Structure 1
Amino acid sequence: MKQLNQEDTRAICERVLGFSKADECSVTIAGSRAGNIRFARNSVSTAGLNEDRRLTVTVAFGKRQGTATINEFDDKSLEKAVRRAEDIARLAPENPEFMPAPGKQDFKASTEYFAATAAIDPDYRAEVASHAILAGRKNKLVTAGFFNDVTGFETIANSRGVFGHRDYTNLGYTCTARTEDGRGSGWVTRGVVDAKRFDAREATDVAIEKALRSVDAKALEPGRYTVILEPAATSDLVSRMFGAFGARQADEGRSFLAKKGGGNRLGEKLFDEQVNVWADPWDKDVPVSPWDAQSMLARQRTDLIKNGKVASLDYSQFWAQKQGVRPTARHGNIIMGGGGKSLEELIAGTKKGILVTRTWYIRMVDPQSVLLTGLTRDGTFYVENGKIKYPIKNFRFNESPITMLNNVDELGKPVILGGDEGRFQLVIPPMRIRDFNFTSLSDAV
């Protein structure tokens, strides 16, 4: 299936906007080619390639909106979609929080497309799986994993002058390696936009090493420990916190950023001074779309946390108008600063602690404080005098990322975790945290 370029999509958008008789009209065109390969029990189980193109048109009559989606691009189909959206809008109830579409935006292009990723073919995917399978067999391990790559485009336009086009690529890889008797397990994840920065052998070898080292785990008593968290162990915890940076949530008392008595905690110091977090659509490691597709607003580089202080909140168009401020686009990536030390150097500087390589099965306990519960998994180790002494049994924990980022002992060098459509692209450092709360043991590996 042909991936449409900017000239192609601009012509289609102009035709759609020309068909519309509504007060306003917005168009999104998106397409992708997504390949994948899955393996389990040291054998490939599935592989595939999916290609798709779709167009979504949204119209409004006053505060009444309607939306229609199609995957055919001839004039008859385009006009039919516009009419369907208009019919829906006329029947829809008024939206009391309706906001007009934004006017023309200045979109600064972000480098999201890389030829090496776009060139990935079935042979490349097979090589990724082959190394994991053969390395697993060689080490008497059982491997399972998933590799996927995406090459796509997106175009947005509206009747008020907005137009933007982007081409992008990304890939993701996860691999689990387990001993044949199930007593040891290791896991790894990788995500990048440029295939030249992905090494399947290096990634798989990480999972294999953890599996081999995690056999014969010993039990430690639950309690509060100093922990060294690998970036993958931290990401699912802190990403839930950043989902609560909406100004409306805070102003209405529905998040940890709500102030007692009303208002929000913008500008307050809630974290350790070492904590600095920002979003940047043009970051070279995790570039994202220069616009927020939902609002069609241009993204900007934005500090979320600066030296431990809450530096900004997200304002939807409706809430921004209500509060008398400028609206903001939703962030597409989260980048956390750190120091210059590697994970190994953080371990070397730890007198006594626990190395956590992965967290999973995370659930919210208290949204107001972002208290989370979950389990460690796939390689948890006891550290003493700067060295990994032995593997330990996994724990259940009850902890909040807000508390974690208040108990920072030291941050390491940030690592690219990547992401996918629908979640933050992440750059997170390994970190050493004081008083992490382990509440019970788990027999799972």
Structure 2
Amino acid sequence: MMGQSFAQEVIERALSLSRAQETQVNLTMQKLELTRFNANAIHQNLSRHQVELTVKAVDGGRLGTAATNLLDPGSVQEAVAKALVFARLSPPDPHYKALPAPEPLPVFDGYAPGTGGFTPAERADWCGVIIDQAVKAGVESAGTFSTETNELAVGNSRGTRAYHRGSQAFLRTIMTAGDQTGYADQLSREVSDLRPEAIGQEALAKALTKPGAIALVPGEYDTVFHEYAVADLVRFFGYLAFGALARQEGRSFMAHRMGEQVLGDNVTIWDDGLNGAGLATPFDWEGVPKRKVMLINRGTASGVVYDAYTAGREDKKSTGHATGGGYWRGGMPGHMFMATGNTTLEEMIRNTRRGVLVTRFHYTHCPEPMRLVATGTTRDGTFLIQDGEVVARTRNLRFTQSLLEAFNRIESIGNTARLTRDWWSTFCSVLPALKINGFTFTGSSTF
């Protein structure tokens, strides 16, 4: 790890070189170590170290950004100079106000030494637990096991200084029995929280349940969703609806409906980057402290998240949700929670006369953002429920469904929540299982 002293030294050096009216400097480090296995054998082990210095220069309301992964004095100076050049080539932004002033920051260490020090041999042993389960059951296993440490340092010309280090461990597997598959994963800051035996057993049970997939006629079905599937749906609310810029530009259903009932009154969703049940972090990309934001309160549109830019447009205070820029700009929730209910997954199934049980989705996207119409296919365990029992495995189904409509038809909410992340690690979420009535499936696959 680079450590706080070294990170601050680089930040100060870059700030001292800048001739811009305002300057922000970010320094990130990631150490990713990963083991892959397939066909019941480990086939790849890697260790990747990345460092990046990003400089944002502001000159007369014009913004420019440059980045480098070299930290020698010449490369730092070049990045600082390029950021100012790019700013002066850009048109002024009439909405820009200022970089955020320094604020007191929560102090906690998100780094778990056990995660950071986990060895390739230990990862291999844990993967071996899952592989052994597969061999004994006569199926094939595949998956990945990663441990990651990361550091973020932020400084700006107004005096903001921030540093945080964190860690995460992620183990996932797919079990394959002929043309049937089952999936499971687990995510935690502490590698010691992971349970490879339980992960393997969960995936194995799904792969072996009800052999011989049937074709299901497309239509509306009362549907029970595992937490993996719920997370894939809720992320569309996060990056398309709950950011301030989408609301300001009229691209979100929240734009003209704040204070109105938009989802079912049993739905409460908030973002809380300081909650230890998620992958907590004390501040955002701009060094602003994370603040809990109520997004949906008993179905009512209650709030959106802000970075400094979008907050300035409304003369508000940033909620600490700035990201690294690029596509994800304008503030975005990264630690979403949904209030749990009082029903178990098994009770949801027992209370379903005819419906579908979905483990997770594949290749989801949202072609109609205003209504949050999402589409994708089920994957790694889709089952038919009949008279309160799982009676058959179905071929994978394609869904096309407005999530605004679907989240107005939630019949039951799970009494526990699970920490998950999306494919790109853009979001982590702590969400329960759901039963949604009348969920629309529009097609069936051949497998």
Superposition TM-score, scaled by structure 2 size: 0.90
Measured after TM superposition, the shift of residue 332 of structure 1 is 2.2
- Determine if contact 1:190/1:417 at 8 Å carries over to the other structure: yes
How many residue pairs are counted as aligned between the two chains? 434
Match of 2:200 in 1: 204
Measured after TM superposition, the shift of residue 227 of structure 1 is 1.1
Alignment of 1:22-421 (within 5 A): 22-179=20-177, 181-182=178-179, 184-243=180-239, 244-258=241-255, 264-293=256-285, 295-330=286-321, 331-412=333-414, 413-418=416-421
Q: Deviations over 1:28-83 (max 9, x none)?
A: 11112110011222222211001122322222222233333334444454334333
2:411 is the alignment partner of 1:428? no
Q: Deviations over 1:8-33 (max 9, x none)?
A: 32233222222222212211111121
SS of match in other structure, 1:377: strand
CA 1:419–1:380: 2 relative to 1, 3 Å:
closer
Q: Aligned partner of 1:284: which letter?
A: G
Segment drifting more, 12-21 vs 44-53? 12-21
Q: Aligned partner of 1:427: which letter?
A: V
Measured after TM superposition, the shift of residue 310 of structure 1 is 0.9
User: Partners of 1:33 and 1:420 in 2: how far apart?
Assistant: 18
- Determine if contact 2:396/2:445 at 8 Å carries over to the other structure: yes
User: Partners of 1:360 and 1:246 in 2: how far apart?
Assistant: 24
Q: Aligned partner of 1:228: which letter?
A: V
User: Partners of 2:138 and 2:398 in 1: how far apart?
Assistant: 29
Q: Deviations over 1:319-348 (max 9, x none)?
A: 443434334332221011112443223323
Match of 1:261 in 2: none
CA 1:178–1:146: 2 relative to 1, 3 Å:
same
- Determine if contact 1:34/1:151 at 8 Å carries over to the other structure: yes
Q: Deviations over 1:391-428 (max 9, x none)?
A: 22222211122222111111012111145775111111
User: Partners of 1:327 and 1:355 in 2: how far apart?
Assistant: 40
Measured after TM superposition, the shift of residue 214 of structure 1 is 4.2
User: Partners of 1:223 and 1:145 in 2: how far apart?
Assistant: 33
User: Partners of 1:439 and 1:77 in 2: how far apart?
Assistant: 53
CA 1:423–1:71: 2 relative to 1, 3 Å:
closer
SS of match in other structure, 1:275: coil
Q: Aligned partner of 1:428: which letter?
A: L
Measured after TM superposition, the shift of residue 168 of structure 1 is 0.2
User: Partners of 2:201 and 2:389 in 1: how far apart?
Assistant: 20
Segment drifting more, 202-211 vs 361-370? 361-370
Match of 1:441 in 2: 444
Q: Aligned partner of 2:63: which letter?
A: Q
User: Partners of 2:334 and 2:441 in 1: how far apart?
Assistant: 32
- Determine if contact 2:35/2:124 at 8 Å carries over to the other structure: yes
User: Partners of 2:233 and 2:90 in 1: how far apart?
Assistant: 39
Measured after TM superposition, the shift of residue 193 of structure 1 is 1.3
CA 1:89–1:362: 2 relative to 1, 3 Å:
closer
User: Partners of 1:99 and 1:421 in 2: how far apart?
Assistant: 31
- Please identify runs of 4+ aligned residues in structure 1 that moved more than 6 A: none
SS of match in other structure, 2:370: coil
User: Partners of 2:8 and 2:119 in 1: how far apart?
Assistant: 29
- Determine if contact 2:232/2:422 at 8 Å carries over to the other structure: no
Match of 2:324 in 1: none
- Determine if contact 2:152/2:164 at 8 Å carries over to the other structure: yes
- For structure 2, the 5+ residue unaligned runs are 322-332
Alignment of 1:5-24 (within 5 A): 5-24=3-22
Calculate the aligned-residue CA RMSD, in Å.
2.2
User: Partners of 2:425 and 2:63 in 1: how far apart?
Assistant: 24
- For structure 1, the 5+ residue unaligned runs are 259-263
Measured after TM superposition, the shift of residue 429 of structure 1 is 0.3
- Determine if contact 1:289/1:332 at 8 Å carries over to the other structure: no
CA 1:306–1:11: 2 relative to 1, 3 Å:
same
- Determine if contact 1:59/1:89 at 8 Å carries over to the other structure: yes
User: Partners of 1:83 and 1:99 in 2: how far apart?
Assistant: 22
SS of match in other structure, 1:358: strand
- Determine if contact 1:339/1:414 at 8 Å carries over to the other structure: no
